[in-house]
Structure 1
Amino acid sequence: MTVPAGMVPLAMAMVGGGPGSFIGPVHRMAAELDGAMRLRAGVFSRDHARSLEAAAGYGIDPERAYPDVATMLAAEARRPDGIALVAIATPNDTHLPIAAAALAAGVHVISDKPATATLAEALALQNHVAASDALYAVTYTYTGYPLIREARERIVRGELGRIRRIHVEYPQGWLAEPVERGNNKQAGWRTDPARTGVGGCISDIGVHALNLAEYVSGERIEHLLADLAAVVPGRSLDDDATLLLRFAGGARGLVAATQVAAGARNDLRLSIWGERGGLQWSHADSQHLYLRWPDRPDEIVSAGGPWLGPVAAAATRLPAGHPEGFIEAFANIYRDFADAIRGSMPIAETPLCGIEDGVRGLRCVDAALRSSAAGGAWQPVEAIAPRP
């Protein structure tokens, strides 16, 4: 999709994404891929000089590289071409204040995951979203892949029957050594409780795995048992997480997420089995969805073909055989958000993850922390948490 002739792209600001950022440039590329948005302003770093450096790299007017969020929101509100939305690409500890300020100013918010650093903050953010007319979404990136959306729709149609088993494996190896003790900026804040929050691996990639388990299956985790470990000596947050899951509909499941699997890159894998068959998808082979049947030959569904359902087809840009990947999946989320902002599709009817999904992620993290601290006792995900 491209913006129709005469339609002005939505002006976007980004908070974070300064020099050395991994996810900031990804947000920018994804937002601009379909022409529905343009990065026009931002607070790219706490250091204004570095923010100006980032603005130059992004091609942003230096006058719109602001020293802080409050200044940006006030200045942009006075501009006839001011921002319509803010993308949050900062460490977790700043997600709540940035989102709350933007929502109070009537500016839409799209945030990197997790929604906040703690469950109490997520519940506070939920209140801010409810009190604002602005929209909010979380970028659970893998939900933007066409074949993840195809898998979800096939389960909705009942092709697998009642869901019995859900597995998500997410091994990474980039934290197998204590790289945070050097100059690795990403490792530095992701292993620092003051910046990332109460969880390490469980909050960083575990929330992706937990979100996929619920997003694709349509099931909701009711109880979990967790074993969280800090494998690398001296690390204060978990870098390895194994969870057993019980879903409200009776299914059982497993999430295994680790960042200390030496040699692993980003090897996300999803498997779901129902009464009638199962499906499998992996990030390394994201162009294929495998359907397993007990009474007929297995199927391999390729991305990009006319055999896809309307939801997956709408998330597809290229014909079969032309691989689409991470940036395109991220861009699907931004395109859906642009549609919701413009009113061409109510946000509830899009495949987006909203504040409820953000809170769900932090509820699962909270339950996992409680379970692990109790020596691996089963914990309810919907347990009452302290109000902010």
Structure 2
Amino acid sequence: MSVNAPLNRKLRMGLIGGGQGSFIGRVHATAGILDNRAELVAGALSSDPVKAKASAPDYDIPADRAYTSYQEMAEKEAKLPADKRIDFVSVATPNHTHFEISKCFAEAGFNVICDKPLTFDLKQAEELAAIVKKTGVVFGVSHNYTGYPLVRQAREMVRNGELGEINAIRAFYIQGWLRTKLEADSQKQAAWRTDPSKSGAAGCFGDIATHAYNLGRFITGLIPDQISCHLKSFVEGRALDDYGTAVIKFTNGALGTVTASQISHGRENEAWIEIDGTKGSLEWHQEEPNKMLYRVNGKPHQIYTRAGGPYLSALSSASSRLPSGHPEAFFEAFANIYSSVYDDIVKRATGKPFDGAASIYPNVMDGVDGMNFITQSVASSQQNGAWLSLKHPLCRS
């Protein structure tokens, strides 16, 4: 079959951010081309014009499409012939820049894949959702953990009723890298994440708790009702939270917890989720992503493995690239998000309808949901854990 049939060509990718010293920009670039469905052809790789140009050879971006700003990139790419200009842009920059960049490209008619959290604040997220609806562009948000095959398997099992009614969700994201005040030493990744002017109202909760929250929403489909949250900074002088926990009430009566830390000694990138239903329970760990535990009282515990056999759903099986026993992980999960977005980009490019609000990939509504979660978490914590509403008209139901 031709690449991206019936379009029959690779999609042309542009990258914002990802300059020298970047972590997530390189991940986006790698995931975007992993399945040979896209090629990276243009970029505005840094807010520093010199660094932006100097970083282009690292990605094999030609000099004439290595732009010194995202504004220049949007303007010049829009003027290129249709068979040359980019099909979509990936936004891999600090939080405070997401809105203006995404808005710029969406209004110019370009499809967008934006890193999470979607924007700096909820108001921006709501405005961006309106722009996406008006322009009809494809818009994905890189909550990449939803791309893991066994996370998708968990989603199918819950929605097929294999766990019964969902009673509880326990979602965690535990790290230890900010145990010391790295931002005081101008460590790049720590500096912007702990700066309220760049990260927003939340630190740890905006950075990683959003992933844990999104996992629960993605797998169970439960609708959040209320939240009570406590956030704290344990490192003296740090402006934003580095630890927090929230309790969530869902509309079906289920309870959920989200716990996130960036100050737990020895913890690397330990995201995991446990889900309790009336018929069984699930447990999945991001650091061991190729296995998932399924438990039922009075029966032996079952271990589901990625690409493990016919018991897996079609969605889960289609999300794997290698036979069982060959580990797949972070890049591949990220690439699954990209591949799902590409399906809709191809549909849009060939004039076929697509439902951007009901996608398997996280979309702009999920981005609004994440920003609403952050906003209400911070507000609840400021009110000593008061119960606040998590309902939002733009969040996916």
TM-score by length of 2: 0.94
Q: Which of 322, 325, 339 is the aligned partner of 2:326?
A: 322
**Relative to 1, partners in 2 of residues 1:384 and 1:136: Cα closer, same or farther, differing over 3 Å?**
closer
Corresponding residue of 1:294: 297
Corresponding residue of 1:262: 265
Corresponding residue of 2:3: 3
Cα distance in 1 for partners of 2:21, 2:384 equals 38
Q: Which amino acid aligns with 1:277?
A: G
Structure 1 position 72 matched with structure 2 position 76:
no
The Cα shift of 1:70 comes to 2.0
The Cα shift of 1:384 comes to 9.5
Partners of 2:229 and 2:244 within 8 A in 1: yes
Decide which moves more: 338-347 or 18-27.
338-347
Corresponding residue of 1:379: 388
Structure 1 position 35 matched with structure 2 position 36:
yes
Structure 1 position 221 matched with structure 2 position 230:
no
Decide which moves more: 345-354 or 319-328.
345-354
Q: Which of 329, 333, 340 is the aligned partner of 1:336?
A: 340
Structure 1 position 19 matched with structure 2 position 30:
no
Cα distance in 1 for partners of 2:259, 2:235 equals 17
Runs of 4+ in 1 over 4 A off after TM superposition: none
The Cα shift of 1:77 comes to 1.8
What pairs with 1:165-184 in structure 2 (closer than 5 Å)? 165-184=168-187
Corresponding residue of 1:309: 313
Calculate the aligned-residue CA RMSD, in Å: 1.7
The Cα shift of 1:128 comes to 1.1
Q: Which of 141, 155, 159 is the aligned partner of 1:152?
A: 155
Decide which moves more: 40-49 or 155-164.
40-49
Cα distance in 1 for partners of 2:103, 2:78 equals 16
**Relative to 1, partners in 2 of residues 1:2 and 1:157: Cα closer, same or farther, differing over 3 Å?**
farther
Q: Which of 100, 106, 111 is the aligned partner of 1:97?
A: 100
Q: Which amino acid aligns with 1:189?
A: W
Q: Secondary structure at the match of 2:209?
A: helix
Number of aligned residue pairs: give it.
385
Cα distance in 1 for partners of 2:202, 2:274 equals 25
Partners of 1:18 and 1:45 within 8 A in 2: yes
Cα distance in 2 for partners of 1:375, 1:369 equals 10
Cα distance in 2 for partners of 1:213, 1:302 equals 20
Corresponding residue of 1:357: 366
Deviation sequence 1:72-122 (CA, Å, 0-9, x none)? 112112223110101000001110110111011100000000000111111
Q: Which amino acid aligns with 1:273?
A: D
Q: Secondary structure at the match of 2:270?
A: coil
Cα distance in 2 for partners of 1:316, 1:349 equals 22
Corresponding residue of 1:187: 190
**Relative to 1, partners in 2 of residues 1:187 and 1:162: Cα closer, same or farther, differing over 3 Å?**
same
The Cα shift of 1:349 comes to 5.5
**Unaligned stretches of 5+ in structure 1?**
none
Corresponding residue of 1:274: 277
**Relative to 1, partners in 2 of residues 1:377 and 1:348: Cα closer, same or farther, differing over 3 Å?**
closer
Partners of 1:171 and 1:265 within 8 A in 2: yes
The Cα shift of 1:183 comes to 3.1
